Amino acid sequence: MSFELRDYFETTDGSRPDATPLSKTDGLALPLLAFGVLRGGDVFEGRSSIDGGQQLAARWVEQAVSFPAADGQDAAKSRVCADLVRQLAGNPQLVVRLGRSKPLAIDLVPGRSFAKLGYPKTVSGRASGVFWDHPDWPVARIGLRIDRLNEEPALVFHEMAHAIHYLAFTEEERGALYDLLRPSFGNRSAMDEVFAIYSERELIEGFTHQDRGAPGVYGFTRRQWSDDHVLTRFVRKLYFPHKRLAGPQMAPVEGGGWMKGIAH
């Protein structure tokens, strides 16, 4: 199944950030066990320790994350920071990778117009949040609708997943993820959203009826999510490398047959 531009709801034309990926040198120095899932390697051994992960994530948030236009929004800022720490605390290696990339500025947007804050004019008026970057920008940016933070518990996790994908993965790693998703989703914009939605699911208890009924790729992806999918295995190892592999606890089929598509 392939989704057309009408299914993209963060930008009206399907455009995506032009972000500089993590360098190959840093990627080799800071390997992520999760990519063993995509390469067909042994992901049952070498589980990472999470010792110090909470402190490391909190320090990164304190040092690298800013809120340039959030006067009087202390409660919202605290909520966002807590969500960021929770998302990153399970994988210290991921936090170190982010530390090798750009800082992150988070805009708490009171209305619908992200463009007024310098985001592309193509950002949809229906979007609850957006991640964006450009090589000329000194910081990468996330915009979040303040009124949606409580309505959408996964909003911060979703947009931070985009930031991780664009800032903390090497170009080759991004390509490996796209290679997995392309047969089912086809377009870069849709594939980006699928990765972010699977990231949501690792950090919330489950998708609501409203979540599963969302339009286009959003609702479809949430309805078909499964613990048995290869993408679930990858995402779980990304955020929680110390946890057991998602799905049936059995050896891969000879020849890598278990990796075809996003599900067995």
What confidence tens digit (pLDDT) does each residue in 201-246 have? 999 999 999 999 988 899 999 999 999 999 999 999 999 998 888 8
- 142: pLDDT strictly greater than 50: yes
Q: With bands split at pLDDT 50, 70 and 90, how would you rate the model's confidence at 45?
A: very low
- Is 262 among the domain residues? no
Token pair 């947007």 is found at 109
CA 19 to CA 134: how far, in whole Å?
5
Q: Which residue has the higher pLDDT, 210 or 43?
A: 210
CA 140 to CA 142: how far, in whole Å?
7
CA 63 to CA 181: how far, in whole Å?
34
- 180: pLDDT strictly greater than 50: yes
Q: Comparing 97-101, 125-129, 259-263, which segment has the lowest mean pLDDT?
A: 259-263
Q: With bands split at pLDDT 50, 70 and 90, how would you rate the model's confidence at 116?
A: confident
- 18: pLDDT strictly greater than 90: no
CA 32 to CA 10: how far, in whole Å?
28
The stretch 157-168 carries a mean pLDDT of: 98
Report the domain count for the chain.
1
Q: Comparing 10-14, 87-91, 113-117, 203-207, which segment has the lowest mean pLDDT?
A: 10-14
Of residues 65, 189, 68, the one with CA closest to residue 117: 68
The stretch 158-187 carries a mean pLDDT of: 95
- Is 263 among the domain residues? no
- Is 264 among the domain residues? no
CA 136 to CA 116: how far, in whole Å?
19
Would you state the pLDDT for residue 211? 92
Structure-derived torsion over alpha carbons of residues 94, 162, 263, 184, reported in degrees to the nearest 10: -140
Would you state the pLDDT for residue 43? 57
- Is 155 among the domain residues? yes
> 212 lies in which domain range?
5-257
Would you state the pLDDT for residue 245? 81
- 262: pLDDT strictly greater than 60: no
Q: Which residue has the higher pLDDT, 215 or 162?
A: 162
Q: Comparing 48-52, 99-103, 242-246, which segment has the lowest mean pLDDT?
A: 48-52
Helix axes 188-203, 230-239, angle to 10 degrees: 60
The stretch 116-130 carries a mean pLDDT of: 86
Going from the C-alpha of 248 to that of each of 155, 195, 227, the distances in angstroms are 29, 21, 9
Helices (H), the chain: 24-29, 35-39, 53-64, 74-88, 92-99, 155-167, 171-185, 188-203, 209-212, 216-224, 230-239
Q: With bands split at pLDDT 50, 70 and 90, how would you rate the model's confidence at 174?
A: very high
- Is 160 among the domain residues? yes
What values do phi and psi take at 152, rounded to 5? -125, 90
- Is 148 among the domain residues? yes
